[in-house]
Structure formats: C-alpha cells, structure tokens
Amino acid sequence: MEYSIDWGSEFLTSLRWIAIMFSYSMIGLLVAGFVLSRTTLWGRQYWRAAGGFFTGRDTRVSAWVLVVVLMLLMVIGVRLTVVLSYQGRDMFNALQGAAEAISNGDGTALDQAEDMFWNSLWLFGLLATIHVVRTLVELYLGSMFEVRLRQFMTTRVTTDWLTGLAFYRNRFVNTGIDGDDAKIQPGVDNPDQRIEIDIDNVSASSRRLVFGSGGSSTNGVIPAIITICTFTKILWELSGPMDIFGTEVPHAMVWMVYLFVLVSTIVAFWLGHPLIRLYFLRERLAANFRYSLVRLRDGAEKVALYRGADTEQRGLLDRFASIVVNFWQVVFRSLKFNGWNFVVNQASAVFPYIIQAPRFFAGEIKLGEMTQTASAFGNVHDSLSFFREAFDSFADLRASLYRLDGLEQANHESRELPQIATVDTERGVEVRKVTTSTPDGVELVSELDLSLHPGDALVIKGRSGSGKTTLLRGLAGLWPFVSGEFARPGESTLFLSQIPYIPLGDLRTAVAYPASPESVGDDSIRAVLEQVFLSHLVGRLDEEADWAAVLSPGEQQRVAFARILLNKPAVAFLDEATSAIDEGLEFELYSLIRRERPDTVLISVSHRSTTDQHHTQLLELTGGGAWNLRPLDPPGTVPGAGKHSPQ
C-alpha cells in the first residue's frame, strides 16, 4: 500500500509552499488594491474612506503587521485543507485496501492497510489541532484588524463631519453620486447611519471579503484564489479524459467545473444585480424611520399637547410601509438569487461523483482518489462560487461606500460654500458691507455697515421673517448666502439661540457648555446658577437627565445667561434669548450681564421694546434688504449710524 504523498518530507514541502504562496498573495493584494483604487469607482471610494489606515503615521505599522499575519494564517489555512485532502485520500484507500485484503484473505496486506489507516488518523489529529489553533488566532487577529479599521474610520469621518461646521452646512449641499451602475443619489440624509452602520459594514467587509473569516479558507477573495489554483492542480492530476460528443477531452473534469461555475456565476450576477440598489434603499428607509421615532421621542411633549398622536402614527406607519415594500422587494430578489445558488450548490454535490464514477468502476482509481476528487472539486467549486455568493456582501459594501463617500463629499462641498469673511480684532465688532439673502436669492439685509466697541449693545428688530436670525447665522459663519466682512475678537464669541442647546450628560455640563465643566469649576457654576435665579438647581450638578426635557423653556433661557457669565465671551449674540421669561426677569438678567460683563459686546434679536433699555443701538430690518441703524436712549454717538435702502 502506498501513501499518496511523502509524509516524511511534507512539513518542509508545506513550509516552502506557504512561503511561495504568501509572497504571491501579498504581491497580488498590493497590485490588485492599487489597480482597483485607480480604475473603479468603488475602489476609489474605498481608498478615500480607509486608505489612511494603511498610510497614516499612527496606524500604518499595526495595519500592515495585521495584514501580513492574517495573510500568513490564511495561506496556512489553505495548505491545511490541501494536506487534509491527502490525509483523507490515504484513509479511504486504507479502508479499501483492508476490504480487498479481507476478501482475498491476505493477512499482510490487511496489516499494512490497518497501519495506514491508524497513521492517517494520527495525522488527522495533528492537522486538526493546528487547524483549530490557527482558526482561533485568525479570529482574534481578524477581529483586531476590523475594530482598528473601524476606529480609524469613525475618528476620521466624525472629525471631517465636525470640521468647518459641515454638520450644519451640509444641509445646503445637494450632493449626488453617479454610481457606475446604480445611479444612486445619496444626498446627505442620516449621517448617524453613515457613521455608525456603514463604517461598521466597510470594516467588517474589508476583513471578510479579503481574508475570509470564521475558519473557512474559501470565504475571502485571496483564500478563494489560492484554493482555486491549488485544487485545480490536484483535480488536474486526478481527472481523466472524457468522451464528449465523440471528442476525447483530456482532464475533462477541470474544464467542466470551470464551465459549471462560469455559467452559474453569470446567471447569479444577472439575478443579484438589483440587490445593490435595494440594500441602499433599505438602509436609508430604516434610518428615516428610526429618525422619525427619535424625533417623536424628542418632541413628545409638544406632540402630546397638540394631541398629534394620530398624525404621528400616520407618518410613522407610512415610513414603515416603505420599509415593508422594500423588504418584499429584497425577499423576492433574494429568492431568485439564493434559489439559484441553492440549485447550483445541490448540483455540485453529486457532480464530481458522476464524472469519476466510470473510472472508479473501471478500477482506474480507488476510493481515496474518488473522495479526494470530491473534496478538490468542492474546494474549487466553493472558491469559484465565493465570487458569486459574495455578490450579496459586495453589494452591501458598495452601498455603504456610496453613502460614506456621499457624506464626505457633502462635508467637503459644504466647506467650500461661501462664508462671511471673518477677521480677528482685539476688541469690538465691525460689520462691513454684509449682505444676506434667502436660498432663493431674496435679499434680507443689504450692505450692512456697523461698528460696536467694547460695552456697546445692539438690538436687532424687524417683522417676523425679515432676516434677523439669518443675519446672526451669517455672522456666525453658518449661512452660506452671505457676503461682506465681519471683524470680531477671535473665538471669544458666543451665539445663543432662542432655546439653548442642552448637551447630554450631567447638569454641570449643560450649564458650562460649550466650555468643559472642569475648566469652569463647580464653585463658579453654583455661583452663577444663583445669579441667574436657578438656585434650586445648585444641588443637582451631578444629576444626569434629559435636561432639555426637564428644564422649562424659561429655565433653559436662564441657563443661556449663565453660560455668558461662565464662558466670558467678548461678544455675545442673543437670538430672542428672553422670549420665554417675563419682563421683570428679563430686566434682571440683562442688568446682571451688563453689570458683570460690562465690556462684552451684546447683540440681541428681540421683538420686545423692554429689551431696548439695555442696548445702545437699534438696527431695524425694514424688508427687501433695507435697514435702519440708530442710537438708543441714553443717546450716544454712533459712528456707524445710518440708513440703507437698496435700489
């Protein structure tokens, strides 16, 4: 009885094989990565999203170490499958040899067969142990690769989103991406989904599609390619000639397996292609639905007061209905796609036996060769099929890349949008030739000029919709439909909206915002809370709550005044910051600010005449871009006073 390979030298042979395949794989990965990132849209998108992980100063060393080790583990995995196929061949040949020896009554042959059987089982024990250890190490390092890539991408995309006010200004950008085959227009909806789900998907797919995961050597591109090459060679040796329509085809099985997978793959691509768009839609619809639920939660009180539950329910169920429609579209498409895959897989299970059966019954090959043929065929088939079955994951990956790229493009474009030219000054404020318009181009304020010195206070008035808030947005750098110049003392500027933003966390974080509570200190926070008539909150600084829902609008506006005292800005913009408090309290709060921060320039938007007394100048927006600037009682000399009526 002969062993199928020389097991004595197999260790060295395997080491040599692993070294060669590893080198080819690394070269292949680098070349393919380079070519794809240059020639395909999704390759470019991938490189934009994740390339920095492999080139960035902080991440590149660990990234490449992980790539190299994972690649090595993956090649070892394929080699183990190859060696196991020979071990199986010997085991079955031993069994067949034993059966023949028993029927011939040949005791020597029986002993040999028995030895061979047990040797192959010992070998199996050794190989299986290596296989288990290899799989666990690969699982651990693969997970490390995945999470590090995710950390890198999340940090990068979040930073990009928060840079240059892109998280606000990308609402003015209408980004569309022409997918090379999907024509998807992602826009900039649901950045939360893009940052959380899409990055997770891209990092998980990077690992799974390239290296494979979960211990199977055939579920990644590179293991699939190596497996195909290796087992094709084995199949080639095992397969004999075949008579096809009167012509003898040598090594017919190899050609047939390729033809079989080629045809099934073409059909699968054709059936699965629409899934890209459906998956893209699925994520978007789910995100929209989730967002509307969050909005309802945030606006629960208002909805409850309006008794708006029915309208909310209609809106929610309408959105959910779109999810269901998409769900069924995905199901029907997957039925076709997966149905085809199932049929192909079932057929492939018997295919090698049918082909080899005539040679087996003719005694040309033994049972071991027969089973090795089946396993080699299975490996080649599974690996070739990987490309067909991975279409699903690949479609998902592409949809995620579209969305991530869409967000990045929108961020980029929003930073390119016009912005008021800002200049740093030591003190005071200068507004020069500032014009703001609506997105439709209707002028709200035309060529506004004014200057304010430390201690000056300006109140902006005008009918509703005349452009008061928009002017503040323009000066704050938020509004893109603006021109002119704005000189102010650097970062020492605080813009307070009508209802202040309350961040998540404890009360001290909410009061100190945007300063960090540590930089301000609890004592100051307590003192300021007393000053703004919120002494009942002094003992609750540690409390974590949804403070935006707990505090009344009037209390929230008092928190805004506390922020002025804590953040000590040189210029404070207050947009109807006292609309929810009574006039007496308004008087106290403005007096407090004027007293405590006498040099702070105040710019308020207000509809109330009671705020006038705390200001030195009045800017009135009179419509169509016209404005009117005049000093207030007590009258003072106002250098920039004037009128403007656009022609």
Q: 3-state DSSP helix/strand/coil percent for the chain, to nearest 5?
A: 65, 10, 25
503 vs 482: CA distance, rounded Å: 29
In the complex, the smallest distance separating the C-beta of residue 182 from ligand ATP, rounded to whole angstroms, is 30
When the beta carbons of 344 and 431 are compared against ligand ATP, the nearer one is: 431
Structure tokens at 582: 């009574």
Sign of the C-alpha dihedral, residues 519, 523, 526, 530? Answer: negative
Binding ligand ATP by CB under 6 A: which of 469, 492, 622, 628? 469
Structure tokens at 512: 């100190």
**CA atoms lying within 13 Å on the CB side of residue 558:** 23
In the complex, the smallest distance separating the C-beta of residue 444 from ligand ATP, rounded to whole angstroms, is 6
When the beta carbons of 81 and 606 are compared against ligand ATP, the nearer one is: 606
**Ramachandran angles phi, psi of 590, nearest 5°:** -65, -40
- Point out which span in 69-77, 124-132, 179-187, 461-469 binds ligand ATP (CB under 6 A): 461-469
Contact code string over 412-441 relative to ligand ATP, x by CB under 6 A: --------------------------xx--
When the beta carbons of 589 and 621 are compared against ligand ATP, the nearer one is: 621
- Point out which span in 468-476, 553-561, 580-588, 637-645 binds ligand ATP (CB under 6 A): 468-476
In order of 168, 248, 273, 410, the CA distances from 171 in angstroms are 6, 67, 31, 9
Name residues whose C-beta falls within 8 Å of residue 217's C-beta, 6 or more positions apart in sequence. Answer: 74, 77, 78, 80, 81, 223, 227
Closest CA to 587 of 616, 607, 609, 562: 609
When the beta carbons of 427 and 608 are compared against ligand ATP, the nearer one is: 608
Give yes or no for residue 191 binding ligand ATP (CB under 6 A): no
265 vs 269: CA distance, rounded Å: 6
Binding ligand ATP by CB under 6 A: which of 373, 411, 466, 578? 466
Give yes or no for residue 474 binding ligand ATP (CB under 6 A): no
In the complex, the smallest distance separating the C-beta of residue 605 from ligand ATP, rounded to whole angstroms, is 6
In the complex, the smallest distance separating the C-beta of residue 445 from ligand ATP, rounded to whole angstroms, is 9
Alpha carbon 237 to chain centroid, angstroms: 47
Closest CA to 620 of 635, 634, 631: 631
Give yes or no for residue 462 binding ligand ATP (CB under 6 A): yes
When the beta carbons of 339 and 465 are compared against ligand ATP, the nearer one is: 465
By CB under 6 A, the count of residues binding ligand ATP is 11
311 vs 388: CA distance, rounded Å: 45
Binding ligand ATP by CB under 6 A: which of 378, 467, 480, 500? 467
Binding ligand ATP by CB under 6 A: which of 371, 375, 383, 470? 470
- Point out which span in 37-45, 359-367, 458-466, 563-571 binds ligand ATP (CB under 6 A): 458-466
Q: Render the burial of 513-531: b for 16+ CB within 10 Å, e for the rest.
A: bebebeebeeebbbebbeb
In the complex, the smallest distance separating the C-beta of residue 575 from ligand ATP, rounded to whole angstroms, is 7
When the beta carbons of 105 and 439 are compared against ligand ATP, the nearer one is: 439
Binding ligand ATP by CB under 6 A: which of 464, 523, 584, 598? 464
Chain residues in the site for ligand ATP (CB under 6 A): 438-439, 444, 462, 464-470
